Amino acid sequence: MVEGINNRSNIHPGQRPVTGVISAAEKAQAQEISKNLNQLLKDTGVITEAKPNGQILFKLNNQISGIANRLDILNFCRQNNIPTTPEPGFLNPQFTMSRNAAEKLLAEAGRPDSELVKKLKPTVLDKAVDAAGYVLGSLTGCAPIMGPEDIEQIKSAEPIEKKPEEPKEAEPIKPKESEVRHGSMLGDYMDMMCYPFNRPVSEEQARTLLIGLFEKISSDLQNIYEQGVFDQGHVDVVALEEMLADCSALLQRLRNTDLKINGSFYIDEDYRDLHSKLTEQFASKLVCNIEFDPQTGELSRVNIQTATDFVDEIRSLPKETVLQKINAGPYSSYFFRYFQDTPLANDREIALAAITNSIGNLQYVSEQLRGDKQFMLAAVQIMKDIGLPEMNFRNYLKNIVVADFWRDAKFTEAVINASPQFWYKATQVDNPQSALLRDCADTAAKLKNDFDITELERIPELKYAQHLLAERTILKEHPEQIRVTDPLTVVFYPKADYNGAFRGTEYCTIMDNPRQQMLLFENETDMDFKRYLRLLKDNLPPCFRSDYEPAAERKYLQIIMGGHGTKDITQWGPRSVYNLDPSDYADLEFVELVKSLNISEAYFVSCSVAEEEAAWINQVNRFSELLPENGKAIGPTAAANVNAWVLDPVSGKIQAVVYNKSYVSAYIASGGRKYQFPDKATILQKITENPGYFADLAGTEYADDEEIVKKALALALELPEPRLLQFVSERLRNERELIGPLLLTYPYWFYLAEPALRDDKQFVLAMINSAGSYAALYIQPHLSDRLAKDPDILAALQAH
């Protein structure tokens, strides 16, 4: 670092947070500002919340978009003299500003032509590939820009007329001239460096190239750091210091010849981590142009310039050149994105060429063209012709197709024929006349209306939907047709699936087996789970019951339980109250329903439910206690998705589960065993060391022990860890003195209070005051029938 530079961290200092007590009106004002900002900044990666002192806290919920958005917001604030208080940590950026400052930002964000919101709106993918696009879109000369002279030459070049080729004498082979390649600062090294050579790169050659690259990057970063200005805005000093340190660390490792560089231009995991971190920090702001001789492999020049200048140069190219570059091959796949919101994005010829080159370019086509039904049908046909994977087909079409198009029978049928996974879209067609559309619409309607199977996107095509419908219909109307000699698999999947983890098609392997009988249920709550367990108990042939006699004639069923999970919970629905969690194992009805079924294997398709395995009470261990002695509960030891189900080739029964991560194993807990808790003194010590241990006591005598509960809730209030309240016994959740302090501090847990507290008028008034403007959400729905009509309670709710 250059001496005297560190004082740059004081440029544009933010005000310190306001301390002290604020009025209720000021608190309400801060909450309203935060609410309006969240609405305007929706889908930008920016979240705000009102702090207790009335300031507005800004959080960036994604590292890549967060870094860029943080700079955009901070630069706007600095240019408009809006003081902010950055907090430490660039990779998890957050900062605060006063209510008045936030109001000024709100006014700017609310303008229809707000430049601020335009900057923040690009998707996370856009932010992430801003720099990656520069390399992938340029490797075949999509943007052969060496400098101002070169770009001027391209602009002024006359279009080349194509003429019939005449026979020529063979010319002697000449040495290739020096070529220019452009790349993200840390793009894909194999493509960036090996592609032009068309031959393997030696380790020494790779080392020379990489050292030259990082030395130039470090030099340019140092210059930016010293100038303190970048892209017409001030540089985040902490970020630059981190980048310079990372460059120095990378160079040190590259110069250590004892560390070998592999064929992917990586040394080891530490090197890879530094490379990835630097990419995330730098990606959306800068681009480097790399020049080297393809014969010698010597690095000629690395020039870092701003992304804005780079894009402006590309956008100035004439249509003929743009079309030529788009058609250049697979390495130009990102080139078209530079023309988003330009007239070329509305050019049918350019757009279809871009989509043919890479279907991802569909998102950069103008809204006018995407609203043209014939154009979109042509795009669908291109997707079908190139054999696009089903998942990509879904991702590209789902949010791009104009909603009204699905009402058109011709369009919808064409999409279904191209990609059968869109079978459920037939429900939106105004007049489904063809047999295909009628079958799709009828099947979807019956699954939804008769069996509450609503997440139809996870069913990959019509034949599987019809299979599921037939099996559920048999269970409901003709249970005697269930074959007791063939395997029976019952799948419980969640209604809430925020990241698409349960849209995989692995379970179709089960339905593809001719001997398998698979029943699908969708849970939104743990009450749904109990309802479906009761349905199985009542409707399945008696031999599937655990108490069926003679015991030798009992038949087994296998169950699969899916949901977003942790060691303690499996999430069925959108809110935590709907989890399958330790409190359910204290529910006698749930326990008896599980025990009533003769379950041989219970598979959890839920992340980390077997974390810490037998050393700790986890979901797999808990569930195994409810199974017969020869039963098994099975789940992953860490976060993972199912990659495949392995079925017995003869019987068709599930034999094993394979996860998508090699280091994740399936932990198996034998049925019928009972976990042995330590003595009370040891339990108190364990809770002191780790309050989360209290969750393991749910449903046991220790969750009803006042001394243990008092200790756990005191720690829950201190940490804070309010979720521990849900594991307290029902009896003690009626004790105002015991649970009152925690509820008053965290009123959103009021629903866990037992009836006596919900009918305690003075306590409820205190809860309403604590919840403030959120009382109608957190308190009112859970009041006793008496207090729900009480005039004083209603007045208190109205006041907030």
Between residues 263 and 270, the one the model is more confident about:
270
Residue 151 has pLDDT above 90, yes or no: no
Q: Where are the alpha helices (DSSP H) in 145-186?
A: 148-156
The 3-class SS string of 24-51 reads HHHHHHHHHHHHHHHHHCCCCCEEEEEC
**Positive or negative torsion for Cα 344, 347, 351, 353:** negative
Residue 601 has pLDDT above 80, yes or no: yes
- Residues 297, 213 share a domain: yes
Over residues 437-442, the mean pLDDT reads 95
List, edge to edge, every strand of the sheet that includes 666-670.
Answer: 517-523, 488-494, 557-562, 599-605, 632-636, 666-670
- Residues 704, 733 share a domain: yes
Q: Is residue 330 part of a domain?
A: no
Q: Which residues make Cβ contacts (< 8 Å) with residue 462, sequence separation at least 6?
A: 420, 423, 436, 439, 440, 443
Query: pLDDT for 185-201, tens place per residue?
Result: 344 333 333 333 334 55
- Give yes or no for a contact between 45 and 72, defined as CB atoms under 8 angstroms apart: no
Over residues 40-67, the mean pLDDT reads 70
Over residues 309-326, the mean pLDDT reads 73
Most confident of 44-48, 76-80, 691-695: 691-695
Cα 112 from Cα 115, distance rounded (Å): 9
Residue 142 has pLDDT above 70, yes or no: no
Give 584-634 as a DSSP string. GGG-HHHHHHHHHB-EEEEEEESTTTTTTGGGS--HHHHHHTTS-TT-EEE
- Residues 146, 107 share a domain: no
- Residues 687, 664 share a domain: no
Most confident of 179-188, 321-330, 381-390, 508-517: 508-517
pLDDT band at 124 (very low <50, low <70, confident <90, very high): very low
Q: What is the predicted pLDDT for the residue at 64?
A: 38
Residue 250 has pLDDT above 50, yes or no: yes
- Residues 537, 509 share a domain: yes
Between 155-164, 207-216, 515-524, the lowest mean confidence (pLDDT) is in 155-164
pLDDT band at 51 (very low <50, low <70, confident <90, very high): confident
Query: pLDDT for 468-520, tens place per residue?
Result: 999 999 999 999 999 999 999 999 999 877 777 888 788 899 999 999 999 99
Please give the radius of gyration of the chain, using alpha carbons only, rounded to the nearest integer: 31
Q: Is residue 415 part of a domain?
A: no
Q: Which residues make Cβ contacts (< 8 Å) with residue 169, sequence separation at least 6?
A: none
Q: Examine the fold and report which residue of 670, 697, 723 is the final residue of a domain before the chain moves on.
A: 670
Q: Which residues make Cβ contacts (< 8 Å) with residue 601, sequence separation at least 6?
A: 558, 559, 631, 632, 633, 634, 654
Kindly report the backbone phi and psi dihedral angles of residue 760, in degrees, each rounded to the nearest multiple of 5, phi listed first.
-90, 105
- Residues 91, 224 share a domain: no
Between 84-98, 130-144, 345-359, 456-470, the lowest mean confidence (pLDDT) is in 130-144
Q: Examine the fold and report which residue of 266, 293, 316 is the final residue of a domain before the chain moves on.
A: 316
Residue 358 has pLDDT above 90, yes or no: no
Residue 770 has pLDDT above 80, yes or no: yes
Cα 265 from Cα 272, distance rounded (Å): 10
Using CA atoms, how far residue 137 sits from 131, 157, 181, 371, in Å, is 10, 21, 10, 27
- Residues 686, 659 share a domain: no
Query: pLDDT for 405-414, tens place per residue?
Result: 999 999 999 9
Q: Residue holding tokens 């979720």? A: 723
Q: Is residue 439 part of a domain?
A: no
- Residues 284, 239 share a domain: yes
Q: Examine the fold and report which residue of 292, 316, 340 is the final residue of a domain before the chain moves on.
A: 316
Residue 793 has pLDDT above 70, yes or no: yes
Q: What is the predicted pLDDT for the residue at 621?
A: 87
Using CA atoms, how far residue 610 sits from 491, 626, 657, 677, in Å, is 19, 16, 14, 18
Query: Hey, how many other C-beta atoms are within 10 angstroms of the C-beta on 21?
Result: 9
Q: Provide the residue range defining the domain that includes 721.
A: 680-799
- Residues 691, 622 share a domain: no
Three-class secondary structure of residue 155 per DSSP: helix
Query: Hey, how many other C-beta atoms are within 10 angstroms of the C-beta on 190?
Result: 12
Closest CA to 705 of 685, 728, 724: 728
Which two three-digit tokens encode residue 431?
């007049």
Between residues 753 and 554, the one the model is more confident about:
554
Q: What is the predicted pLDDT for the residue at 727?
A: 83
Q: What is the predicted pLDDT for the residue at 194?
A: 38
Three-class secondary structure of residue 454 per DSSP: coil
Q: What is the predicted pLDDT for the residue at 585?
A: 81
Q: Is residue 282 part of a domain?
A: yes
Do the strands 85-86 and 94-97 form a parallel or antiparallel pair, or are they unpaired? antiparallel
Q: What is the predicted pLDDT for the residue at 12?
A: 26
Over residues 68-94, the mean pLDDT reads 57
- Give yes or no for a contact between 582 and 723, defined as CB atoms under 8 angstroms apart: no
Element (H, E) at 358: none
Q: Where are the alpha helices (DSSP H) in 631-773?
A: 680-689, 706-718, 736-745, 755-758, 761-771
Query: pLDDT for 536-590, tens place per residue?
Result: 999 999 999 999 999 999 999 999 999 888 887 888 876 545 678 777 887 889 9
Q: What is the predicted pLDDT for the residue at 71?
A: 55
Q: What is the predicted pLDDT for the residue at 329?
A: 59
59, with CB counted inside 10 A (0-12, 13-18, 19+), is middle
Q: What is the predicted pLDDT for the residue at 158?
A: 38
Q: Is residue 159 part of a domain?
A: no
> Mean pLDDT over all residues of the chain?
75
- Residues 528, 634 share a domain: yes
Residue 15 has pLDDT above 60, yes or no: no
Query: pLDDT for 603-620, tens place per residue?
Result: 999 888 888 765 457 888
CATH number, domain of 36, equals: 3.90.1150
Cα 4 from Cα 1, distance rounded (Å): 9
Residue 77 has pLDDT above 80, yes or no: no
- Residues 658, 713 share a domain: no
Cα 117 from Cα 36, distance rounded (Å): 14
Residue 304 has pLDDT above 90, yes or no: no
CATH number, domain of 530, equals: 3.40.50
Residue 388 has pLDDT above 90, yes or no: no
Most confident of 29-43, 233-247, 262-276, 631-645: 631-645
Residue type, 300: S
Q: Residue holding tokens 């060429």? A: 353
Q: What is the total residue count of the chain? A: 800
Strands (E), 117-259: 179-183, 229-230, 233-234
Q: Is residue 259 part of a domain?
A: yes
Query: pLDDT for 328-357, tens place per residue?
Result: 655 455 678 778 778 999 999 999 998 888
What percentage of residues in the chain have a pLDDT greater than 70?
69
366, with CB counted inside 10 A (0-12, 13-18, 19+), is buried
Between residues 427 and 283, the one the model is more confident about:
427
Which two three-digit tokens encode residue 531?
């309802």
Query: How many domains, in total, are found in the chain?
Result: 4
Which two three-digit tokens encode residue 162?
């194509």
pTM recorded for the entire structure: 0.56
pLDDT band at 101 (very low <50, low <70, confident <90, very high): confident
Between residues 383 and 513, the one the model is more confident about:
513
Residue 86 has pLDDT above 80, yes or no: no
Q: What is the predicted pLDDT for the residue at 164?
A: 42
Using CA atoms, how far residue 659 sits from 64, 518, 601, 663, in Å, is 28, 21, 17, 9
Residue 627 has pLDDT above 80, yes or no: yes
Q: What is the predicted pLDDT for the residue at 332?
A: 54
Between 274-278, 378-382, 763-767, 768-772, the lowest mean confidence (pLDDT) is in 274-278
Between residues 599 and 679, the one the model is more confident about:
599
Q: Is residue 583 part of a domain?
A: yes
Q: What is the predicted pLDDT for the residue at 160?
A: 31
Q: Residue holding tokens 């990959």? A: 460
Q: What is the predicted pLDDT for the residue at 554?
A: 93
Compute the half-sphere exposure of residue 42: CA atoms within 13 Å on the CB side of its CA: 5
Q: Is residue 767 part of a domain?
A: yes
Between 377-391, 433-447, 729-743, the lowest mean confidence (pLDDT) is in 377-391
pLDDT band at 286 (very low <50, low <70, confident <90, very high): very low
Closest CA to 709 of 685, 725, 686: 725
Q: Residue holding tokens 């261990």? A: 621
- Residues 142, 246 share a domain: yes
Helical axes 269-282 vs 237-254, angle rounded to 10°:
150
